[in-house]
Every structure is written in structure tokens, then in C-alpha cells.
Structure 1
């Protein structure tokens, strides 16, 4: 990714390149499918071997045993109590399964998978030689990255985020027909380091701030944002795409089924539209208040080119859904209009009919 860091205006942070001098312009170009984002905050783990798909199916939340070559999905690794330990995008090329994880999670994910091999015929490896480059499907950036993506199994390694619709076996808690994820169209290409320079030369670049703004606006959870030591998938509406409710046993399944069928998640994800008059954007972990009582914490925040300052927050299930909240940042209280993502009565679906919503946007070839 050093090629992108040398572009004019590049401003780097610990996670990667934040922006290239004009975050709003970059965000618009990204949303239009014109720009690309170097994702130094994402790393690749490969899983090879003839048992790879059935093995991953048996130890994670997603049904991948019959994943077709070129098909994209995502999975979670849960602890025995159903709490989220790891999260990964999933793409198989017919010979190898490719996992994309947030950088702070990747080594731990690879190590855990390595410990779980036992007698299975699988090989797990971190793949730092592959760069992750993000884009929005449907524009010139897609054509560039499909052509530039590594293709060791004959198919370009381009993961299409399934967040656009409810996966088979999944469930959506958000009570809306116009889910913002339907227009998200996010994808990530795995590009060999020697080919990154050509991508940087062909397309305008956008920074991580632009990518995060689009993600937050789409209500899309990620490991480095919405996950803490207490998180279960239900709280972030992650059953939509990362959990298969009808597959076989896996670690944490009992909690997933119990909360979904009989109980309610103790916390819920909300979207906050922040008062921008103080020009302050709260950081992850900032306290969210309902009146004088602390209701939860900010998990992600961004400045969106159309919506203005926005944030995702995990709040208590009992937080009144119609109440205007406040967020503490830099010693001041910021008013925050609440948009419910996961309702307080989510779960207890044992007698609720399933409504499947599937949406797939094909990759250009």
C-alpha cells in the first residue's frame, strides 16, 4: 500500500490512509463507484485443503459447506456463550477459501483456526502479500479491480459484501422495507502487491474516512466498531448475513437459538443523527445518555456527505425508542436523534413467520 501513501495529499493514521485531502469529495467519488480505497485496516487469511468448507461450516456461524466458487458470504466465530470472538468476509475460488478480517483481528483468527484443525485436511495462513482494496460496485472502479484482482484459482478474488439483503438462513430485525444496506454495494478485491501501483494509477483514491461514512450510513457492523467483549450477533442485526439459523451445531449456537427464538438481546444497535452545530464528532466509546442516565456507547462515527454527522451506538434494550439521546464528546453533550435499527422487542421469534429478503448485485466480468 506504499504506492497510495505516496499520492498527493495522503494523510495516514494508525489504521491506514484516512484521506487524500478532501474527504467529502472522495466519499462522493467512492459512492458513485469511481474511487478505490486502500484497506490497510483489513488483512487476508487463506484456508486451503479438501476439507476447508465442511470444516469451516462446523466451527463457525455460517453455512459454507456448499459455498460455490466465486460466491461471497461472511461468518462469525463465537465463544461457548454466543459472544462474538472473530468476524470475516468469505470467498471461495474452488481451491482455496479466502477470509478478509479487520487487521487487529486477523492474527487471532488465523491462530484460532490453526488450533482447530485437528485431523481435518486444511492449511491456514496469513497472506500479507495480498492487498485489500475496497470499492462500490457498479462503476469504473469495479472494472479496474476485477481485472487487477489476484486469480490463483482462475476466478478474480473479489468479495461482494452480502449486506445488501438477508442471506438464506438469516433473519432481519430492522423493521423497515427500505433498508439502507440495499444500496450499499460494497466489495473488496485482493490484489498482489506488484499490481497495486496500476490500480492507483487507473482510479482516484479515497481514504478510510470515506469508506467508514458509507458503512455507518448502511447500518453495517464490523469487528473493530460494533464488537466488544459482550457482543452477540443479534444486537447488531448481524443475523442478516453472518448467521445461518438452520445449519448444524457449532460453538455458541445454543445462545444464538435461545435469544432469537425465546428471548431478547440485552442491547440493540441504533443509528444516531448528530447535531453538527458544535463541529464535534464523538469517538468510539463515547457515552450515550437517555436523560441523565447512561444508555450505551458509540461504536462508530462519521461525517456523511449527505446525512452530515452520524454514528452507530449500542444501547440498552430498554432505552425508549422515541427519545432524543445525547452523546458526550470533548466535554459537551451533543443532541442525537435516534433511528432504531434493532428494536427493543427483537427476538422471541419462535412463532413469527420468516420473511426472506434477498438482494444480489452481480460483479462485472
Structure 2
């Protein structure tokens, strides 16, 4: 039985605590630091061994070889064509590298890492039987964090800053994610049970995953659950925090560099302000249409306590920024106003000079 089942009003499913009866109020409390959210949809992996950081550096999109203890970052695992396969938040404590991944992806990531060990001194393990994840403001969750090697395991979300070696495509003067102070603490399972008991006694305020998800969507923050089999980091503005563009070779690096420097991502992430009743939200994968044509799909949606019904969607790059869109829902189509996250012109950052063709040079050369 879930440890939060005894908390009054708790609505729980297989992924954990969804809400406690008032998701909008829970969002306000979570954003202000007055509540914390147990994140049953997140899971913990532990990578030990002397070679762990240089090994992860060689496999992933992020520069990790010199990651300092207590500093949070994130990485992507890409396929040879640069498409996203796995994603994880990263914090090292000087002895172990801790990875926080979407629960649905954690085992796949662990299996892949295990296959890539070769003869190196590394040991990736599932730590979900010992540790869980709680989210909220850094101040709210820090006191809950485990410190197995004297470094508190508090991952502070770097989004939406542009990390060293990263690149941001979103251009608004004030990125909505700048207002979201977010951290995820790795906590012992005993601490999680104590938190549930304190909440049941009314001593601690909790928020559910529904509230945490709404704050994420409003901040334009991507996660592993948003992607499909075609997803490139560029399409989600994920070069911002998860990709180091000059760290050296890793699987998929050639495509990352080519799309960023010479090409354009074929799709782009947009934020949608949804019209109609607040009770109607499109599901993940819902079609986004221009007229009768499907031009994209919803990756996540939420009812936000200030913005109302909102969504993130990936659409074709060539769709104009002012074109009217509609989104399919179970109760019919609803209008959607597009807000630019990744602009159509994203990419092609290298100024490559045009080279005159040899035939033209020859034709321009006067005869002797």
C-alpha cells in the first residue's frame, strides 16, 4: 500500500500521489515553498566506481568528467542519429553519481548503462528500494535530503538557464521558467514514511504530482515522458541544459552538431493557451491541427492556477507562428493560441560563407 494512503484527501494511482483534492491550491503552495510533492513518477539510480564520471561523460550529451560534488546537471542518451533515448538528472557526492529518471524509463536506462560498462570500474544499480524523490523549492526539500556520503542529495534544476556549453533557442525577455525555483531531493524510504505520517497529522503540507506537472508545463520544461521515437534535443530547447556542444565525441554528437550549426530541427516545441472549458484538457499525443491537417501532437497538458488550461506540443517547423491551431480532445476540438518556444529559424548557427562554383569561377576568368 502506498505510504500516503493515510493522508486525508489523497488520490493515489500506480504512479503515486496525484493530488489531495485541490490541485490548484497545491500548485500555489508548491510554488511558494509551503508544500512538497512526493514524486512517485521519478526513480533513483546509483552509479559507483572510480571511473563513473568520465564514463558517463563519454556516453552522454553532458560534460560530466569534472562535475563537482553537490552540483546538479542533466544528460541525454542519444541514438546514433541523435534521437533521444533516455534522460536523467545528475548529482554526484564525491563517491557515487546519483541519477533521477522518469520511473518508466529508469530500468531501461540502467540496463543500457550496464551493457556499456566494458572493463571500466563502474557499477550502475537501481536504488529505488532505498531511496525516493520529493520535489519542491530548494528551501522546502533540502532538509529532507539523504546524505549517504556527507553531501546532501538535492538536485537543483538548472532550467531555464543556459549551462556552460549549452544553447538556448527560446527568445522571450522573461522566460516563464525563470519564476520556477525547483529542486528534487533524494530521500530515504524511511524519510518518505515519516513525511507521510507528518502529513496525516497535519504537520506538513503536501502537493501531488498533478500540481508539480502543471508548474513544469507552465515553465516549458521538457522531460523524458514528452518525447517520441523521432525526438531531437533541439526540438525541445533541451540544448539549454542537457547538451554540451563542445565537449567532444559521444553517440549522436554528429547529428546534434549538424542540426544546430547547419540545419534546422524538423519540429519545434510550442506552448499552447487552450480555449474552452477549464475541465477539458487534451491527452498526451492528442492531434494538433491546422484546419483539417494534423501538424503536431500534444506532449503534456495541465490546468494552471494562473494561466488556466495550457499545453506543450511539438509541431512542424514550417507552421507559421501566427497560424490558428486547434487541438483534439475527448469532447471535440478546442482552439489553441501558439506561444513560441523553439522558433522556426532555430539552428543554422554557423555562418558558412557561400562558395562560388568552380564552373562559375572558370567562366568569369578572362582568356589569356
* Residue-by-residue CA offset, 1:320-361 (whole Å, 9 max, x unaligned): 111121001014110001001001110000139xxxxxxxxx
Does the 8 Å CA contact 2:289/2:326 hold for their aligned counterparts? yes
Residue 199 of structure 1: how far off its partner (Å):
2.9
Does the 8 Å CA contact 2:280/2:331 hold for their aligned counterparts? no
The two structures have a TM-score, normalised by structure 1, of: 0.92
* Residue-by-residue CA offset, 1:79-105 (whole Å, 9 max, x unaligned): 000000000000000110000000010
Is the partner of 1:162 in helix, strand or coil?
coil
Residue 277 of structure 1: how far off its partner (Å):
2.9
* Distance in structure 2 (CA, Å) of the matches to 1:214 and 1:263: 32
- Consecutive unaligned residues of structure 2, counting only runs of 5 or more, are 353-368
Question: What are the residue-to-residue correspondences of 1:21-170 with 2, within 5 Å?
Answer: 21-128=21-128, 129-138=130-139, 141=140, 145-170=141-166
Does the 8 Å CA contact 2:160/2:240 hold for their aligned counterparts? no
Max Rg structure: 2
Corresponding residue for 1:216?
217
* Residue-by-residue CA offset, 1:13-60 (whole Å, 9 max, x unaligned): 232221011111111100111111111100001111110000000000
Is the partner of 2:194 in helix, strand or coil?
helix
Residue-pair matches, total: 346
* Distance in structure 2 (CA, Å) of the matches to 1:322 and 1:14: 40
Moved more, 200-209 or 338-347: 200-209
* Distance in structure 2 (CA, Å) of the matches to 1:222 and 1:119: 31
* Distance in structure 1 (CA, Å) of the matches to 2:331 and 2:208: 28
Is the partner of 2:159 in helix, strand or coil?
helix
Residue 278 of structure 1: how far off its partner (Å):
6.6
* Distance in structure 2 (CA, Å) of the matches to 1:94 and 1:2: 32
- Consecutive unaligned residues of structure 1, counting only runs of 5 or more, are 353-365
Corresponding residue for 1:182?
178
Is the partner of 1:163 in helix, strand or coil?
coil
Moved more, 15-24 or 230-239: 15-24
Q: Does 1:8 align with 2:8?
A: yes
